[in-house]
Structure 1
């Protein structure tokens, strides 16, 4: 087979995060190099003690009937963060059906780590879907704590699959291949469209976005947001594909999905750009002093949530895999008290539980 130049990746315009000569993305705020594991770190990485729960985690079997049930937002609960006029659909929403869709209360189901099923303005959206038992190319490594609370075939019909980047704990080839014939639309950062097409997704079912570029589907606007991370699936494709978070605006609510990111000034920029969020799903886990610029430490997660203007924060990127040396529940044991101390309301549903932005939740991991 003839080898494609540059791996088949497009040439993008030069920017503060893309080098057209090297055809690779980079972080505007440079990252420090990874530090090698010492003996103690390597032993901890291979050991399950503390890094895995001592007993099965509590979970709920998702009630998908409740998840898709339409519930209009009461007028006094509708967010001041309304979808603005830049939506190409906004001015055409004249029918009562579309109006009721746009006032529907968003619902969510968390499957652990960064996989979230969202119901926003009548659209079924899933973020970084990973349902397998491993977050690595070798399925004997980075094993899942326990099976997810529902299998992919049990999900309601999907409208949008939203990806933040291409790492194995966020992008699962088997899931992509299982939905290629469903007509679902993929929203991805620049470069990921190349990989999806290799896996059988039709080009017309993929929309790729640079930071602060938006796509509107069914009255919901999705905007890729900056992140401070990296990308790779193998040794040859390092940073060929962009990484991003996502702002989701629709149904009278504004949501933020951070994707993976270390802390940086981009969070405050995002807050200024959008004016705040009703609910922010924030990376909280898989950090280590040896890779300080790959993932946020708990205090940084809280500060980043404040920076983006979150009215409420839900920690994600934990609860399914152990990809670092810290104990499985350390991220929330540290971040939740810090958030409460800062006056930031938090949301901590059970894995599999149907919830909305106003639900009261428990600190369930304290009983495990």
Structure 2
């Protein structure tokens, strides 16, 4: 029998607490009376979410702000991206940043420096080394499936797949009576079902939809390196998402990076007859929870 110095017990208690916060206990049991339902019913107006440029979002609580993949650098896409670049240096309360991976359109060092100018947590996937890091920031490498408290938010890195095979995660975040999923720029993979069972249902899934095909690496595959609109709807369905907010689209004029035609119209078409609300937002707009 191994010696128990109390660490195991503390881990179990912490895990139970985090599972309760995220409403996972009911989902794990698969019962009719779900912890997720109770979570979604509580303080539903406490969390506001703003879409930023490209794949970025801002999660806003009364005394805390969490950014995921913020982008403010106009040089990253240049004239190819028509999105308005929304400033992120105005965080309310404690500020934190999550990044899905270290590519420049998801880890924008300037955006992170602006957001964390007064300090805060920068959480990133284990296996990545985003640099430079703001002087006052606290860096937190994040392992898959490990819930963590980041101020007033609970965040969990879950599997994703990058078009080039580089380390990438998606994020599950719960706060203020809501639970959301942010997909970064993942392509289709086989982990959707486990994520949905462990963490679903979701109030909103922020998913890439442009189905981009890359020509920078040879030989060229000709296959989408990002979720297509149809795949995004399938992922949202498996995740149990009430609404799908499209992100990561709107680049044009680059020969080596080609999106599907009219991704939003294709997204709406793919969602017809399904119990998912498609809620496109222009950068700067906020999620309408009543829609």
TM-score (norm 2): 0.74
CA contact (8 A) 2:142 2:157 kept: yes
2:276 to 344, 349, 357: 344
Q: Which residue of 2 aligns with 1:185?
A: 121
| Counterpart Cα distance in 1 of 2:172 and 2:230 | 22
CA contact (8 A) 2:159 2:191 kept: yes
CA contact (8 A) 2:18 2:147 kept: no
Q: Which residue of 2 aligns with 1:115?
A: 56
| Cα distance change, pair 143–173 in 1 and its aligned pair in 2 (3 A) | farther
In the alignment, is residue 256 of structure 1 matched against residue 191 of structure 2?
no
CA offset at residue 307 of structure 1?
1.1
In the alignment, is residue 134 of structure 1 matched against residue 57 of structure 2?
no
| Counterpart Cα distance in 1 of 2:163 and 2:244 | 24
Q: Which residue of 1 aligns with 2:231?
A: 300
| Cα distance change, pair 151–220 in 1 and its aligned pair in 2 (3 A) | closer
Q: Which residue of 2 aligns with 1:72?
A: none
In the alignment, is residue 144 of structure 1 matched against residue 69 of structure 2?
no
Q: Which residue of 1 aligns with 2:217?
A: none
CA offset at residue 353 of structure 1?
1.7
Q: Which residue of 2 aligns with 1:223?
A: 156
| Counterpart Cα distance in 1 of 2:236 and 2:109 | 31
| Cα distance change, pair 335–322 in 1 and its aligned pair in 2 (3 A) | farther
| Counterpart Cα distance in 1 of 2:83 and 2:141 | 33
CA contact (8 A) 2:96 2:121 kept: yes
CA offset at residue 272 of structure 1?
1.1
| Counterpart Cα distance in 2 of 1:313 and 1:129 | 19
**Gaps (5+ residues) in structure 2?**
1-14, 22-41, 215-220
* Structure (1 or 2) with the larger CA radius of gyration: 1
| Counterpart Cα distance in 2 of 1:250 and 1:85 | 17
Higher relative contact order (CA 8 A, sep 6+): 1
Q: Which residue of 1 aligns with 2:286?
A: 354
SS in 2 for 1:302: helix
Provide Cα deviations, 1:120-175, integer angstroms capped at 9, x if missing partner. Answer: 47421111111122325xxxx66432542x43445545611110011121111222
Q: Higher strand proportion, which one?
A: 2
Farther-moved stretch of structure 1 (249-258 vs 178-187): 178-187
| Counterpart Cα distance in 2 of 1:88 and 1:276 | 14
| Counterpart Cα distance in 2 of 1:228 and 1:169 | 16
| Cα distance change, pair 291–257 in 1 and its aligned pair in 2 (3 A) | farther
| Cα distance change, pair 264–124 in 1 and its aligned pair in 2 (3 A) | same
| Cα distance change, pair 102–188 in 1 and its aligned pair in 2 (3 A) | farther
| Counterpart Cα distance in 1 of 2:202 and 2:143 | 21
The total of aligned residue pairs comes to 249
CA contact (8 A) 1:226 1:245 kept: yes
| Counterpart Cα distance in 2 of 1:220 and 1:212 | 16
CA contact (8 A) 2:59 2:66 kept: yes
Q: Which residue of 2 aligns with 1:172?
A: 108
| Cα distance change, pair 321–270 in 1 and its aligned pair in 2 (3 A) | farther
Q: Which residue of 2 aligns with 1:325?
A: 258
In the alignment, is residue 105 of structure 1 matched against residue 46 of structure 2?
yes
Q: Which residue of 2 aligns with 1:279?
A: 204
CA offset at residue 266 of structure 1?
0.8
SS in 2 for 1:355: coil
| Counterpart Cα distance in 2 of 1:103 and 1:305 | 20
CA contact (8 A) 1:313 1:345 kept: yes
CA contact (8 A) 2:89 2:114 kept: no
| Counterpart Cα distance in 1 of 2:112 and 2:234 | 34
| Counterpart Cα distance in 2 of 1:293 and 1:337 | 19
| Counterpart Cα distance in 2 of 1:293 and 1:320 | 15
In the alignment, is residue 211 of structure 1 matched against residue 211 of structure 2?
no
CA offset at residue 247 of structure 1?
0.4
